[in-house]
Amino acid sequence: MTPLLRLGFRPFFLGAGMFAALTMLTWTGIWFGAWSPTAVPVIAWHAHEMIYGYALAVVAGFLLTAARNWTGRTTASGPALAALVGAWALARLLLLAGPDALAAAAALDCAFNLALLVAVARPIVAVRQWRQLGVLAKLLLLGLGNAAFYLNALGIAHVDPRLPLHGGIFLLVALILTIAGRVLPGFIERGVRVSVRISDPVWAQRATFGLFLLFFIAELFVGEAQLVALCAAALAAVTACRLYAWHTPSLWREPLLWGLYVALIAIEAGFVLYAVAGLVPLPRSLALHAFAAGGIGLATLAMMARVTLGHTGRDIRRPPPGVPIALVLLGLAVLARIGLPLVSPAHYDIGIALAQALWSAAFGCFVVVHAPMLLAPRPDGADG
């Protein structure tokens, strides 16, 4: 079996990295009026492909790999994995082929979502690891959100576009907060070069879940701005407590730790911006991009780098120089996308252009550094 199809992280991380860089270059051309052949309105295409194209590919690679570690059971590999990746990739191409290809894109993309859910759920259910049901529920809701997007785009049913697009961002943020709570304290304890004890208070975990559920419902289904702002402010306070509990100065020496930590700071910024938007005129797109470009972008990039290094037999404490470079480039992209429009709205287009260029450079760097690892067998000959 080719090394690329041995385990889910290999093809999906490679595909996600390439797609992130190339689709942002495509978006640059669309944004500045050079090209617009998408099967759906261009703003919807951009949002959809960042959520259900890029981010969901990273989720697929991570969960197919993590499910094997969680359960000790095999997950999709070989032809089954190739079929999953093929459905994902072909749906991305069809969405650039114009409106006539929309139905085919919808069928392939929804089939990918369903097949991914089955592939991840099968080993979890087989060993009755019910602790993972929350993760499966988020994956199911992402699939339903993607289906709702296509139903609306095809004119089959009227769906408020915010439900699949904003809802998709919120579900991904919720998934990141769930996984971070499980793994980041341990990552920090084992990853820093001093002895530390990191905890995640149980009250903060429960408060995050409850408040986020309320925020999700209030923003997407109730539409009461003051309630949304109140939930966001409470979430900002709880997230700040968790960040404080997880912090140690030594983590700033480790790129694979500070990359994840800065992603959570960006999510914190998203909650703060949502809270402020309920009090003063402030575009909520800034909060959404704090979640999407900052929280989701940085978390997925850092996690792809960590999983790739670890599962290909490399030392995660000694990442290649390209890893911190990619993370810094992406961090600068987030500052350009959010910070510049926030402090100088007159330079909005400059901020957009800078963010697009830096994003593509960051993921191009990821691909250059990690493609050789993803395409080659492990140096120690182990499976993975």
Residue 183: predicted pLDDT: 92
Residue 284, pLDDT > 90, answer: no
What pLDDT does 225 receive? 85
Q: Residue 53 CA to chain centroid, in angstroms? A: 10
What are the tens digits of pLDDT across the range 62-97? 999 999 999 989 999 999 999 999 999 999 999 988
- Please, are residues 9 and 120 in contact by the beta-carbon 8 Å criterion? no
The answer to whether the beta carbons of residues 184 and 258 sit under 8 Å apart is no
C-alpha Rg value of the chain to the nearest Å: 20
pLDDT value, residue 376: 92
Q: Is the pLDDT of residue 154 over 70?
A: yes
Whether 301 has a pLDDT exceeding 80, the answer reads yes
- Residue 353: its pLDDT value, please? 92
- Domain residue spans in the chain? 1-159
Asked if residue 159 lies in contact with residue 147, where contact means CB atoms within 8 angstroms, the answer is: no
pLDDT digits (tens, 9 = 90+) for 18-68: 999 999 999 988 888 766 667 788 899 999 999 999 999 999 999 999 999
pLDDT value for 33: 78
Q: What span, in angstroms and rounded, lies between the C-alpha atoms of 135 and 127?
A: 15
- Over residues 219-255, the pLDDT tens digits come to 999 988 889 999 999 999 999 999 999 999 999 999 9
